[in-house]
Amino acid sequence: MFVSLPAQISICRDLPNVEVITFSLNGISDLEPLNQCQNLSELYLRKNNIASLNELFYLKNLPRLKVLWLSENPCCGSDPHRYRMTVLRNLPSLQKLDNQAVTEEELSQALVDGEEITAPPARRRMEGSCSASTECSAAESTVETESELLSFSLEETNKIREQLGMKPVPKDKFSSSSPQETDCSRKTRNNVLNAILLLTKELDAEGLEIVQQTVGRRLQALRKRELQEE
């Protein structure tokens, strides 16, 4: 199973069999929901809001994790060597870190230069709604530009639409969404798309046909309403 798209990482608590997770550019700061993903082999978390390497505590008991992309997070700090050594000391099964292959020499050196993480980080915030928590602020500071987020969302949204047998969304139509739309509302929309994609992977042919018919009826209704509005 593969998880992509901007989404709340908490969804991973319900996906123990997930194998590949792509949550880059998503304002994530807490890796605790991943600690039950025992089949996870690849994890992409580039450009998030992970402040402490102590978050690696939640990845230490994932036996199949081979690929981790954690660069461009605050936890990487100003010392690339210390950062890499600490990650490898705590996750010695990694074969690739930040798109760079891990060597036997590095794993040996990590035992000397890396810091061992033995406890989870202190929680820095209470879980809450997007409008009331600091998660939205973190997302706003992590995503570098509005156009970058739109481009990322368009690409991933069209991947979902393709798997559902739907036409891709044109770039001009996608980027014309209201400038007042908040990051939170955009996340909510993408979370719904993400959930749909995950559920389709669990359906058989009969179930997928039902989904296709339902989507077709929904599209017809939306197109009819658009024509009426015009």
Q: What does the domain layout of the chain look like in residue ranges?
A: 9-113, 191-227
Q: In angstroms, what CA-CA distances link 88 with 22, 171, 216?
A: 20, 40, 49
Per-residue pLDDT of the chain (230 residues; tens, 9 = 90+): 444 444 567 888 888 888 888 888 888 889 999 998 999 999 999 999 999 999 999 999 999 999 999 999 999 999 999 999 999 999 999 999 998 999 999 999 999 999 999 998 886 544 444 444 444 444 444 444 444 444 555 565 566 556 556 667 566 544 434 444 455 556 656 666 666 766 676 677 887 788 788 878 878 887 787 777 76
What tokens were used for 86?
């600490």
Q: Is 105 exposed, middle or buried (0-12, 13-18, 19+ CB in 10 A)?
A: exposed
Q: Is 33 exposed, middle or buried (0-12, 13-18, 19+ CB in 10 A)?
A: middle
Residue 177: helix, strand or coil by DSSP? coil
Quote the pLDDT of residue 98.
Answer: 93
Global pTM?
A: 0.55
Architecture of the domain whose range is 9-113: Alpha-Beta Horseshoe (3.80)
Question: Which residues are registered as beta bridge partners of 44?
Answer: 22, 69
